[in-house]
Amino acid sequence: MAEPISMRVSVSGKVQGVFYRVTVQDWAQELGVKGWVRNEPDGSVTALLQHQHKPVLDEMLRRMWQGPPKAVVLTLHSEQLEAQLQYDEFSVLR
C-alpha cells in the first residue's frame, strides 16, 4: 500500500458552534480519510488529513470549503506535510 499523503488544513469563518467538526468527521469516514479535526482558541478549525490518494484529499478539501449548512467558510488554507504519524481513524479532538 502506498504511503499516505498528509495535509494540514486551517479553516476560518463561522466554523465553530455549527457542527463543522462532526460534519468533517462524517465526510472523513465516508471517504476513508484518517486524522483529526479540532477547534482553535481563535475561532478557526484545524485538521490533519491522511489518505493514499490525492483526489480523495481534494474532495475532502472541496467539502470542507463548502462546510455544513450553518457554517460560513471565509478562508481555507492547506499544506502538504512531510512524513507524519499514520492514523488508524478520524477523530474529533477537544
Largest CA distance in the chain: 38
Whether 94 sits among the annotated catalytic residues: the reply is no
Residue 51 is predicted with a pLDDT of 96
Q: If we measure between CA atoms, which residue out of 43, 31, 29, 30 comes closest to residue 92? A: 29
List 8, 21, 38, 94, catalytic entry: 21
Q: What is the pLDDT of residue 82?
A: 85
CATH class entry, domain 5-93: alpha beta
Please state whether the predicted TM-score (pTM) of the whole model is above 0.85. Answer: yes
Domain boundaries of the chain, sorted by first residue:
5-93
pLDDT in tens, the chain (94 residues): 678 999 999 999 999 999 999 999 999 999 999 999 999 999 999 999 999 999 999 999 999 999 999 999 999 999 999 867 889 999 999 8
Of 8, 38, 39, 63, which residue is the catalytic one?
39
21 is catalytic: yes
